[in-house]
Structures are given as C-alpha cells and as structure tokens.
Amino acid sequence: MDASPEVLAYIVDLVRATRTSPSVSLGVSPRGATALLATAKAWAWLSGRGFVTPDDVKALALPTLRHRVQLRAEAELEGVSTESVINGALRSVPVPR
C-alpha cells in the first residue's frame, strides 16, 4: 500500500495542529499519526485502491484520533470537545493536491 510524501506530510501537519491548539493539554502523538496512516491505508484497500488519498485521511481522522486528544480543564468547562479540535485541525491544514 502506497502513501505519497504529500499525504504523509498532511498527516504530520494534522497531528502537529492538534498539539498546538490552545485548548489542548496533550495532542496526538507520533503513534497516533502512525495509527491514522494505518487506518487510511486499510480504508484505501477496502475501497479497492493501492494508494492513500487525503480524503481517506480526512474520513478517518475523527474516529482514529478523537480519543488521543486531552483537553485542558478550562477548555472542557467552556464546552470545547475533542471533535472540535480535530475538525479545527482539518480546516486549518491545507489539503495536498
């Protein structure tokens, strides 16, 4: 299964964006990035493709990463969710073409 350097960089940038969010006390780790790549590869394979697309990564970001983000207590009290942090990263990180 193949993932282009652009898709790999996209995953790294998404993970980095979770760690720089002001609402987060603990963002996604490198192991989380590896998990996202593995699930995206599986999704691509199940879709009959031999390569991973950015859409595969976006489709699996929430289910793969949601439990890997720890919010600051203040953010939780303000109603911030891990889903909103991941969705914010998905919106802010440019998608490779």
The average confidence (pLDDT) of the chain is: 96
The fold of the 5-92 domain, in CATH, is: Helicase, Ruva Protein; domain 3 (1.10.8)
pTM: 0.93
Spatial neighbors of 64 by CB under 8 A, at least 6 apart, are 32, 35, 36, 39
For 74-85, how does the pLDDT look when each residue is reduced to its tens digit (9 = 90+)? 999 999 999 999
Spatial contact of 60 and 43, defined as CB atoms under 8 Å apart: yes
For 26-41, how does the pLDDT look when each residue is reduced to its tens digit (9 = 90+)? 999 999 999 999 999 9
Spatial contact of 64 and 36, defined as CB atoms under 8 Å apart: yes
For the chain, domain boundaries: 5-92
Q: What is the pLDDT of residue 49?
A: 95
- Judged against a pLDDT cut of 90, whether residue 1 lies above it is answered with no
- Judged against a pLDDT cut of 90, whether residue 89 lies above it is answered with yes
